Amino acid sequence: MEAEKHMVGDIVTAATILGKLIGAGLAMVGVLGGGIGIGVVSGGAVQAMGRNPDATGTIQTNMILGIAFAEATAIYALVVALLILFVF
Amino acid sequence: MTLEKSRSWRWGVNRWIILGLVILGVIGARAYPPILPHVQLPAEAVTSRLFTLPVIGDFYLSNSIVAMLIGDVVLLILALSVRSAIRSGEMVLRGIAGAIEALLEVLYQMAESTAGKWAATIFPWMATIVLLVLMANWLELIPGTDSIGLIHHAEGAAEGYPVQQVAQIGELPVLTIVKAGAEHAAEEGHFVLTPFVRVASTDLNFTIGLALISVVMSQVVGLRALGLSYFSKFLNVKTFFSRPLFGVIDFGVGLLELISETSKILSFGFRLFGNIFAGSVLLFVIGSLIPVFAQSAVLLFEFFIGLIQALIFGLLTLVFMAQATAGHAHEEATH
């Protein structure tokens, strides 16, 4: 009886850890969008710089801003994953 | 000629020092293999309770505040050295003062091209944020941060590692955490480390605080530029009665503007926090997996991440402040 109780507790702990890890992994799927966004932004910026090298400075500033905004959503997903792993 | 000579001599000694450090690193990693530390999201308190305020609660000296104070002190020393270099009357600044002059010049040109005539008002906020965040991020690269601190019992039963005594200073034993199951573990048990210094950017209080300063001050700059009509950006009732349909839409857009202003705080805070915290966890994990060479590459990567995040924080502050000064005036000109 005692051993059985112990085993149930072990299973619950294992399921908690399993759920945490799977949840963190699923949360990180959100990074996909950020990656695509950054790729689109910097691809467009490189094309623009190739066509008009004189405007490199302005384009670069705007590119970094755009990347920062695209990255923000990915970072939200990362923060959620970190919260799941280390806080809950 | 003499300069070249001294340089080559120094390089000849330096490479042996570096080789010695590499060998020392290999031996050290063999003797005490690095382990994955107990990662904790909120900053830990390094002192007992300092004082208590009635509503707010207890106050501790947390390890991220220590890191921020170190960053502040370094910034003050840099500022004083630049000041004394300028006072000395040299036309061309040399050394660290010259490097900081170059950095500030780049930042000021950026501010001028974005904010125009408000550059002088906005520049101090942006430059302060860039420099402070830069110091806070780069503290992560210094050995001893996140690894020297107080060892104590873990709170959870399943966490923590055994410890081993390596030296003794007076009454104070110097301990290190070793891998569970290591044969020379002196004392079994569950111990974790609370570092004295933890990178300030891995504490949400620091990043959200900076974000609040940035967003609130952009309202102040906007108010100074446009006067009370600045608030009509948020509570737009100008066209509410003259053009009923578009007036309602304008009013709704104003409310959305209010929401976007609030979400800026979150996006500012979480961007910096997420990047730097993930970076420090990456450093822990790589260090525990491949103790010797791999961490150097990751340290270089983190060097750039820290620089870019500091620049982005400052740049976004600059852009939002510039928008606050210019956005509405532009609209009035088109009407």
Asked whether the beta carbons of residue A68 and residue B316 sit closer than 8 angstroms, the reply is yes
Alpha-carbon gap, residue B331 to B335, rounded angstroms? 7
pLDDT at res. B185 = 54
Residue numbers of the domain that contains A56? 2-86
Inter-chain touch B281–A82, beta carbons under 8 Å: yes
For an interface test with A, which of B159, B270, B272 has the most A Cβ atoms less than 10 Å from its Cβ? B270
**Bigger pLDDT: B38 vs B321:** B321
- Residue B236 is predicted with a pLDDT of 76
Share of chain B above pLDDT 70, in %: 89
How are beta strands B172-177 and B187-195 bridged, if at all? unpaired
Give how many domains chain A has, as a whole number.
Answer: 1
**How far, in Å, CA of B65 to CA of B198, rounded?**
8
Residue B93 CB coordination number (10 Å): 17
Q: What is the mean pLDDT of chain A?
A: 87
Element (H, E) at B125: helix B119-138
Residue bearing the bigger pLDDT, A40 or B40: A40
H/E run at residue B149:
strand B149-153
In CATH, what number is assigned to the domain containing residue A59? Answer: 1.20.20.10
Min Cα distance A2 → chain B (Å) is 20
Q: Label residue A50 by pLDDT band (50, 70, 90).
A: very high
In this structure, of B1-10, B27-36, B306-315, the range with the lowest mean pLDDT score is B1-10
Report percent pLDDT > 70 for chain A: 98
Of B189, B205, B177, nearest to B68 by C-alpha is B205
Q: Say whether pLDDT at B329 is over 50.
A: no
Q: Does any CB of chain A come closer than 8 Å to the CB of residue B255?
A: no
The answer, yes or no, to whether residue B17 has pLDDT greater than 90, is no
Provide the pLDDT confidence category of residue B330 given band limits of 50, 70 and 90: very low
Mean pLDDT for B264-270 is 89
pLDDT at B119 over 80: yes
For the whole model, what pTM was predicted? 0.82
Q: Evaluate the CA torsion angle B243, B248, B249, B254 in order and state its sign.
A: positive
Q: In terms of pLDDT, which residue wins out, B209 or B250?
A: B209
Residue B311 has pLDDT above 80, yes or no: yes
B277 and A65: CB-CB below 8 Å? Answer: no
Give the minimum alpha-carbon distance from B334 to chain A in angstroms, rounded to a whole number: 24
B115 contact residues in A (CB cutoff 8 A) = none
- Worst-scoring range by mean pLDDT, B38-42, B160-164, B210-214? B160-164
The chain A residues in contact with chain B (CB within 8 A) are 57-58, 61, 64-65, 68-69, 71-72, 75-76, 78-79, 82-83, 85-87
Q: What pLDDT does B74 receive?
A: 92
Q: Band of the pLDDT at B284, cuts 50, 70, 90?
A: confident
Q: Does B6 touch chain A (CB under 8 A)?
A: no
pLDDT the model gives residue B332: 46
**H helices within B151-243, ranges in order?**
204-226
Residue B114 to residue A82, Cβ atoms within 8 A: no
Say yes or no: B296 contacts chain A, CB-CB below 8 A. no
How is chain B split into domains, by residue range?
A: 110-141+202-334
B187 class by beta-carbon count within 10 Å (0-12 exposed, 13-18 middle, 19+ buried): exposed
Choose the closest CB to A61 out of B110, B273, B277.
B110
β-pairing, B51-53 vs B57-59, is antiparallel
Q: At what angle do helices B294-334 and B204-226 cross, to 10 degrees?
A: 20
How high does pLDDT run on average in chain B?
81
What's the pLDDT band for B1 if we cut at 50, 70, 90? very low
Q: Summarize pLDDT for B50-60 with one digit per residue, the tens.
A: 777 777 778 88
Whole-number Å distance between alpha carbons of A41 and A70: 9
Question: B312–A72: do the CB atoms touch at under 8 Å?
Answer: no
Distance separating alpha carbons of residues B325 and B335, to the nearest angstrom: 18
B45 falls in which pLDDT band (50, 70, 90)?
confident
